[in-house]
Amino acid sequence: MIELLPYPDAEKWRSFHHDIYTKSQHEGWQAAQTEFMASLINVPDTPYPPDLNERISGNIDFFFKHEYKAFAAYLPNIESIRNNNVHMVTAVGRDSDNAYYVQATKALATKLGCENVEFPGHHDVSFWMPEEFANAIQQTLERHGHSQKGQ
């Protein structure tokens, strides 16, 4: 949600994502993935644990060819969310410091007037710390009145 960042930052990251997309089209998904992953704070050098990396690598080419541009430009309809009384909670990885995607998520929480929680780990922590991620999700749901049974 880079469009929620202040102008100079939004422009910087818009250009970054355009360059990543262009790289993926001209040099392949591996080159684009490496550069994209380097922009993430405190994420291990290897994008995902080896078993997961092997399973999803076939999807990454499709992602860059068909989904990345929309993903990078995505902006939720904030007015619609507000007008429909959608209960939202946003979350960021505690180890992501003040990365651009953390700033964008916090900006969304501010615009929606919702809670922003910190989960353990970094971006994509569900792949690296699945148990901790699941516990953080469960605790957040419980705090917001959703029990484990039937919800």
Query: pLDDT tens digits for 84-101?
Result: 988 899 999 999 999 999
Helix axes 7-27, 100-112, angle to 10 degrees: 130
Q: Tell me: do 65 and 7 sit in the same domain.
A: yes
Kind and range of the H or E run holding 141: helix 130-143
Q: Tell me: do 56 and 88 sit in the same domain.
A: no
Q: Tell me: do 62 and 83 sit in the same domain.
A: no
Report pLDDT digits (tens) over 18-28.
Answer: 999 999 999 99
- Return d(Cα 130, Cα 52) in angstroms, integer: 12
pTM (predicted TM-score): 0.86
User: Residue 151: what pLDDT?
Assistant: 44
Is the C-alpha dihedral spanning 66, 42, 26, 28 positive or negative?
Answer: negative
- Return d(Cα 35, Cα 64) in angstroms, integer: 13
Q: Tell me: do 41 and 104 sit in the same domain.
A: no
* Cα 139 versus chain centre, distance: 20
DSSP 8-state class, residue 87: -
Map residue 26 onto helix, strand or coil.
Answer: helix
**Structural domain count, the chain:** 2
The arithmetic mean of pLDDT across residues 125-147, rounded, is: 87
Residue where a domain stops, chosen among 46, 73, 100: 73
Report pLDDT digits (tens) over 1-57.
Answer: 999 999 999 999 999 999 999 999 999 998 998 899 889 888 876 666 777 777 777
The arithmetic mean of pLDDT across residues 133-144, rounded, is: 93
Mean pLDDT of the chain: 89
Specify if 150 maps to a domain.
no
Q: Tell me: do 43 and 97 sit in the same domain.
A: no
Q: Tell me: do 88 and 123 sit in the same domain.
A: yes
Q: Tell me: do 20 and 40 sit in the same domain.
A: yes
Query: Which amino acid, 102?
Result: V
Residue 57, CA atoms < 13 Å, CB-side half-sphere:
13
Q: Tell me: do 23 and 47 sit in the same domain.
A: yes
User: Residue 1: what pLDDT?
Assistant: 93
CB atoms within 10 A of CB 21: 18
User: Residue 147: what pLDDT?
Assistant: 65
Domain of 118, in residue numbers: 78-143
